[in-house]
Every structure is written in structure tokens, then in C-alpha cells.
Amino acid sequence: MVEIVEAKFITSAPNVAAAPESDKQDEVVFMARSNVGKSSLLNALTDHKGLAKVSSTPGKTRLINYFDVTFMDRDNDGAKLHAKFVDLPGFGYAKVSKSIKHDWEKNLTDYVAGREQIRLFIHLIDCRHPHLDIDTQVSEFLFDNVRENQVILQIFTKIDKLNQKEQNALRKEFPLAMTVSSSKKRGTHKINRVIHDILKEVEDEMQEDMSDADNI
């Protein structure tokens, strides 16, 4: 099993220009419409109740929040792996003015398209509304903009809200997506394993490159 053994808030940034400097490709970006369950998932994955604030006012926070996260792989001698979780502001919240909405969306798209440190994009979708235009737009935007060394993962949240038959239909329609219930803690271990393994590939490649360089 892979667990997150340490998680702490590092900083907030208003835009990509203010994002922390880093020469690693170790960022996991979480994106979702407001209220889809992003904060709850961050808290569940890190087993840290107050890490990301569960929103009482949806869409209010517009900063990009960074968390330092340490994974431990219990199936591999407790090997540790460091990463950054990036909590992007919720998008598509209707009750903000058009100009704020425009700035904000530009900010998000700049971030997603311009930040090379991102390894993995996690797009969270409410399992009860799998076909909203805004989510389709986000998916298309991601597919059009990701680099070769970046991965996209779709996760359906609040899966406890669907009965077994509805869950089966969703899984059939989206065979590559994962599902989770943060409140029932279902699916969180599997997600941590997948995130860890995707990040580990980058680390392994860097180590190979370094040993190749040593051998020249």
C-alpha cells in the first residue's frame, strides 16, 4: 500500500508568475468545478482533515494553494517520494461577475498550459453530472494542451451518491476514469497508488539520466 505520511501547506500564489520556483516535475494539479469535492478529496488522500478547507462559500478562494506531500510505499521497503499537490481554484462558479470570471479562467488556463513542473492533471467530476459543458471544455482543453510528459486522470467524486447499477454504467462509459468517495473513504488508496506510480516514473527516469551521464 502507498500512503501519504506527511502533508503540509507551503504557500499560495495568485497566478503562474508567482508560483514557487522548482526544477522538478513533481506537481499534481487538482482541478474541479466548485463544490465537486476537491478539498474533501485532498483531505482524504492526505488523511489530514483540515489541510484543504472544505468550502462554505463555493468559489470564493481564488489562490493556487501548494502542499508538500510525502508518499511512503509500504510494498517497497517504505521508500519515500516527495511531491507537490496543487489545489487550483474551483472553476465555473456562476455567481461571480463576468470580469472576475474571465480573469480567473485566464489565470487557470495560463497555469495549466504554462507550468512545466506539472506531471499529472487530476480533473474531478461530480459522478451525478458527468456531461456538463464546462467539464467537457476542461477535458478538451487539457487534451489539447498537455505535453508528452504529462498525464491526465479523470476522477468521479461522491460515488456513494450512485447505486451499484448507476456506478456500473458510469464505469462502462468512462473505463479509464477512477471513482472515489471521500466521505466513505472508498477509492482513496487506489488513487494514492496511481498518483505515486506516475510520479515515480519521472524520478526513475531522472536517475537513469544521471547514471547515463556518469557513464559518459
Stretch that binds ligand GDP, among 52-60, 62-70, 111-119, 198-206 (CB under 6 A): 52-60
C-beta of residue 66 within 8 angstroms of C-beta of residue 85: yes
> Minimum distance from CB of 135 to ligand GDP (Å)?
13
CA 162 – CA 143 distance, rounded (Å): 28
Nearer to ligand GDP, 41 or 72 (CB): 41
Nearer to ligand GDP, 157 or 192 (CB): 157
Nearer to ligand GDP, 25 or 38 (CB): 38
Quote the crossing angle between the two packed helices 98-114 and 133-145, to the nearest 10°.
Answer: 30
Three-point CA angle 119, 177, 121, nearest 5°? 20
CA 173 to each of CA 17, 37, 46: distance values in angstroms, whole numbers, following the listed order: 38, 21, 29
Per CB under 6 A, does 49 bind ligand GDP?
A: no
Ranges within 116-155 binding ligand GDP (CB under 6 A)? none
Strand bridging mode 64-73 / 79-87: antiparallel
CA 49 – CA 22 distance, rounded (Å): 27
Quote the crossing angle between the two packed helices 188-214 and 38-46, to the nearest 10°.
Answer: 70
Q: Grid coordinates in use for 161?
A: 451518491
Per CB under 6 A, does 161 bind ligand GDP?
A: yes
Residue from 26, 84, 90, 92 touching ligand GDP (CB under 6 A): that is 90
Per CB under 6 A, does 62 bind ligand GDP?
A: no
Per CB under 6 A, does 160 bind ligand GDP?
A: yes
Per-residue binder mask for ligand GDP (CB under 6 A), 7-46, x = binder: -------------------------x-xxxxxxx------
Positions touching ligand GDP (CB under 6 A) are 32, 34-40, 54-55, 58, 90, 157-158, 160-161, 181-183
